[in-house]
Amino acid sequence: MHAYPRIKKQDPKIYKMIEREWDRQADGLELIPSENYTSPAVMEAMGSILTNKYSEGYPGRRYYGGNEFIDEIEQEAIDRTKKIFGVPYANVQPYSGSPANLAVYVATCKPGDTVMGLNLPDGGHLTHGWKYSATAQFYKSVPYHVRQDGRVDMEEVRALALEHKPKLIWVGATAYPYQYDYAAFAKIADEVGAFLAADIAHVAGLIVASAHPSPVPHAHIVTTTTHKTLRGPRGGIIMTTDRGIKKDAELASRIDKAIIPGLQGGPHNHQTAAIAIALKEAATPAFRSYGKQIIKNAKALADSLKTNGMTLVSGGTENHLILLDLVPIFGAGGGHFASDALEAAGMTANKNTIPKDPSSAFYPSGVRIGTPAITTRGMKEKDMKKVGEWIARAIHAIQEYRLPEGKDARVAYLAQCKKEIFRNKELLKIRAEIKTFCKKFVLPHTAR
| Catalytic annotation, residues | 54, 56, 199, 225, 228, 234
Bridge partners of 238, per DSSP, are 91, 223
Cα 226 to the center of its chain, rounded Å:
9
Give yes or no for a contact between 115 and 166, defined as CB atoms under 8 angstroms apart. Answer: yes
Residue 128, amino acid: H
Cα 111 to the center of its chain, rounded Å:
27
CB-based burial of residue 262 (10 Å sphere; 0-12 exposed, 13-18 middle, 19+ buried)?
A: middle
Q: How many CA atoms lie within 13 A of 32 on its CB side?
A: 16
Q: Report helix, strand or coil for 4.
A: coil
Distance from C-alpha of 22 to C-alpha of 330, rounded to nearest angstrom? 33
Q: Quick count: other Cβ atoms within 10 Å of Cβ 406?
A: 8
Q: Decide the pairing of beta strands 311-312 and 321-325.
A: antiparallel
Distance from C-alpha of 371 to C-alpha of 296, rounded to nearest angstrom? 9
**Interaxial angle between packed helices 269-282 and 68-85, expressed in degrees from 0 to 180 and rounded to the nearest 10:** 30
Q: Report helix, strand or coil for 168.
A: strand
**Interaxial angle between packed helices 154-164 and 182-192, expressed in degrees from 0 to 180 and rounded to the nearest 10:** 20
Q: Report helix, strand or coil for 237.
A: strand
Distance from C-alpha of 181 to C-alpha of 179, rounded to nearest angstrom? 7
